[in-house]
Structure 1
Amino acid sequence: MSESRHNQPEPAQILLVEDNPGDVRLTEEAFKQGRIENDLHVVSDGTEALEFLKQRGEFVDAPRPDLILLDLNLPRTDGEEVLEELKNDPELRSIPVIVLTSSRANEDIARSYELHANAYLTKPVDPDEFIETVRAFEKFWFSVVRLPPEVES
């Protein structure tokens, strides 16, 4: 598998955990315009995110994400709880998590990093700036950074 990854890059698997349909649309738009081939999977709350990551219920065939975009303000299970559970799971903790949220509160930023988020991005209010932010993030994470390989269990 690792040999084919270099010759024919597989699409990046991205899990977007976002309950705002407008922000989901903007993120999809940004990725569509981007140059990086990816599969964007969307869940709308923290409980679904954990089901997806643990491949339970309707997500039994879900792929392991290469990267997670996580909103903090989610129904049912909030983003902090998702982050905490994810980073406490030996099989999932190596997946980079980018908090993408509207909160500019210092305590949310500090708490996200305490819970081992890999980055914290504040969503711009302007739709064009939002798309620009997602595209800059995509270029950085998929062109510059080397993502961790999947750990065999």
Structure 2
Amino acid sequence: MITGAVEILLVEDNPGDARLTLEAFKEGKVINNVHVVRDGVEALAYLRREGRYREVRQPDLVLLDLNLPRKDGREVLAEIKADQHLRQIPVVVLTTSTAEEDIARAYSSHANCYISKPVDLEQFLRVAHSIESFWLNFVKLPPHGANDVR
């Protein structure tokens, strides 16, 4: 059981989408800490707690865009799910892609959920609130420390 704030890692290179997601989660009913990284290399460093991320808490949930600089979100997802210390962390793919190939590949790489970002602001906020409602209110997430490697 998770006590305290829910830790969320948002992997998003679009500043506008990151800002909207942060605002939507700030308005939410569940106390959460959303940390934003802007590319796949930084996401993996955060998850592995390397360099400047040495002291961060392991996230309870990852929101992952697919089209990222430096390391593609598809590669990040595959690396997360291949790593015994990270694979338990639920990964919600949150991307603009509606390509069937991306959807199939994400689920083949063990994504926990695939959501296409709506273009409309109101719908985007509704999607963010539904993520919060489902993943932070109803789903039982792994306990803190279950993924810790320290």
Q: TM-score, normalised by structure 2?
A: 0.95
Which residue does the alignment assign to 2:77? 83
Letter in 2 for 1:51: A
User: RMSD of the TM alignment (CA)?
Assistant: 1.1
Query: Which residues of structure 1 form unaligned runs of 5+?
Result: none
Secondary structure in 1 matching 2:88: coil
Deviations 1:118-153 (A, max 9, x none): 000000001111011010111101111101223265
Amino acid at match of 1:89: D
Give distance in 2, aligned partners of 1:88 and 1:33. 34
Look up the match of 1:112: 106
In structure 1, how many angstroms separate the alpha carbons of the residues matched to 2:93 and 2:74?
A: 9
Alpha-carbon distance between aligned partners in 2 of 1:121 and 1:136, rounded to the nearest angstrom? 11
| Structure 2 stretches lacking a partner, 5+ long | none
Q: Which has the higher contact order (CA 8 A, sep 6+)?
A: 2
DSSP 3-state at the match of 1:116: coil
Give the aligned residue type for 2:67. N
CA distance in 2, matches of 1:62, 1:51: 11
Secondary structure, aligned partner of 2:55: coil
1:58 is displaced (CA, Å) by 1.1
| Cα distance, 1:57 vs structure 2 | 1.0
Aligned to 1:37: 31
Cα displacement (A) at 1:59 = 0.8
Partner of 2:4: 10
Q: Which runs of 4+ in 1 moved over 4 A?
A: none
Quote the residue 1:57 is aligned against. 51
Which residue of 2 is the match for residue 124 of structure 1? Answer: 118
TM-score, normalised with respect to structure 1: 0.93
- Structure 1 SS opposite 2:35: strand
